[in-house]
């Protein structure tokens, strides 16, 4: 197990370095799109812990993303608190809110539909609170002007900082999800997703398992919000604290393959650049046309691939491999049958 983890770490390190070099070599616009895509990959993977592995449709993750984006920026601008301390505070508050949401819904066995409604209501409530709180910027938002770093005489631009933060966040989210899937918590969550009553009958603690998953997902989403705020510079509460953001993340995850490790990565990697390309090429010709094309594409993919892009590809590969394995047996049996 240790040798396998070491191998995964080494390979992942090389892949991360390769991605960093490729994105850094791109022109500014495409480099920015690739950096934001990495942020969305991390956010989708973080949501997938609850929504995919745990099977709970959460529409309130915008609260965690908004906290991660707004609280560190507000503490930096108005209290001169270092950014990393603000990020830790936002992650801690997000974990507490995630635990409270889980306790309310799972302690009283409200069910999946009520969980979605509760999280949606909390997400909308969080947006209203943010807009009405002057410390968090109110409806005007917050503008943070980040400066380049100088490390050992090497100048690191703000764009490079964004790339490093985005790549690190995406890697942490993927590695955390991989660890959960291979741990007892991952097996517990999948058992509860399949049949809660049967899982509890064999001794699985529903409240503890789903609360832990919610807290981990909340912390990762909060960190992702901080990285997104660093990328944008200007933190708009109508963007980071809006349910529209989390709905987009849910769509990316479902289209890629919900409940899997690499499904959210595939969904974001394919759909996010596609949406940016459509907006750049069609937005000026007819307003709203790129949204129509993007929506029709999403509906077509979901209709043709109900298990997601990754699930459909894996299923077809398995069918193809079975056919390949059966061919030699048929060629050997044919002469004897005659």
Nearest one of 29, 32, 12, 13 to 160, comparing CA atoms = 32
Q: Give the model's confidence band at 338: pLDDT under 50 very low, under 70 low, under 90 confident, else very high.
A: very low
What pLDDT sits at residue 218?
Answer: 95
At 75-105, the pLDDT tens digits run: 999 998 999 999 999 999 999 999 999 888 8
The CA–CA distances, whole Å, from 101 to 35, 52, 71, 98, 217 equal 31, 17, 20, 5, 12
Instruction: Give the mean pLDDT of 163-183.
Output: 93
Helix (H) or strand (E) holding 297: helix 289-304
CA distance 338 to 335: 5
Give the distance, in angstroms, between the CA of residue 334 and the centroid of all CA atoms in the same chain: 52
Give the 3-state secondary structure percentages of the chain, helix then strand then coil, rounded to 5: 80, 5, 15
Nearest one of 277, 265, 205 to 30, comparing CA atoms = 277
At 24-64, the pLDDT tens digits run: 777 788 888 899 999 999 999 999 999 999 988 898 899 99
CA distance 87 to 69: 8
CA distance 153 to 137: 35
At 92-146, the pLDDT tens digits run: 999 999 999 988 888 777 777 888 888 988 888 888 888 888 888 888 888 888 8
Nearest one of 39, 189, 172, 174 to 102, comparing CA atoms = 189
Assess whether pLDDT exceeds 60 at residue 223: yes
At 247-273, the pLDDT tens digits run: 889 999 999 999 899 999 999 999 998
The DSSP-derived string for 115-129 is HHHHHHHHHHHHHHH
Instruction: Give the mean pLDDT of 62-74.
Output: 92
The CA–CA distances, whole Å, from 81 to 121, 146, 164, 193, 305 equal 31, 14, 22, 41, 48
Assess whether pLDDT exceeds 60 at residue 325: yes
Helix (H) or strand (E) holding 142: strand 142-143
């Amino acid at each position: 197990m240790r040798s396998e983890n070491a191998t995964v770490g080494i390979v992942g390190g090389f892949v991360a370095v390769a991605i960093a070099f490729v994105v850094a070599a791109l022109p500014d616009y495409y480099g920015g799109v690739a950096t934001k895509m990495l942020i969305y990959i991390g956010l989708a993977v973080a949501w997938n812990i609850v929504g995919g592995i745990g099977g709970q449709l959460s529409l309130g993750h915008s609260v965690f993303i908004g906290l991660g984006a707004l609280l560190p920026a507000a503490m930096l601008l108005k209290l001169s608190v270092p950014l990393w301390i603000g990020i830790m505070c936002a992650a801690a508050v997000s974990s507490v809110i995630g635990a409270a949401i889980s306790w309310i819904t799972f302690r009283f066995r409200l069910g999946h539909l009520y969980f979605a409604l509760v999280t949606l209501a909390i997400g909308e409530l969080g947006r209203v609170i943010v807009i009405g709180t002057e410390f968090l910027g109110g409806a005007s938002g917050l503008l943070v002007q980040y400066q380049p770093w100088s490390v050992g005489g090497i100048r690191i631009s703000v764009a490079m900082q964004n790339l490093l933060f985005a790549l690190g966040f995406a890697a942490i989210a993927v590695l955390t999800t991989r660890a959960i899937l291979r741990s007892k918590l991952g097996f517990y969550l999948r058992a509860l997703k399949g049949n809660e009553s049967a899982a509890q009958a064999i001794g699985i603690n529903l409240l503890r398992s789903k609360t832990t998953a919610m807290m981990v997902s909340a912390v990762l989403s909060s960190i992702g919000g901080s990285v997104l705020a660093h990328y944008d510079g200007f933190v708009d509460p109508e963007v980071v604290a809006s349910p529209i953001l989390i709905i987009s993340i849910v769509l990316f995850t479902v289209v890629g393959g919900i409940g899997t490790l690499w499904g959210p990565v595939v969904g974001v990697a394919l759909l996010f650049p596609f949406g940016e390309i459509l907006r750049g090429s069609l937005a000026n010709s007819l307003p709203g046309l790129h949204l129509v094309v993007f929506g029709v594409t999403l509906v077509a993919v979901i209709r043709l691939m109900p298990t997601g892009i990754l699930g459909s590809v894996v299923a077809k590969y398995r069918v193809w491999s079975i056919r390949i394995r059966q061919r030699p047996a048929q060629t050997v049996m044919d002469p004897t049958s005659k």
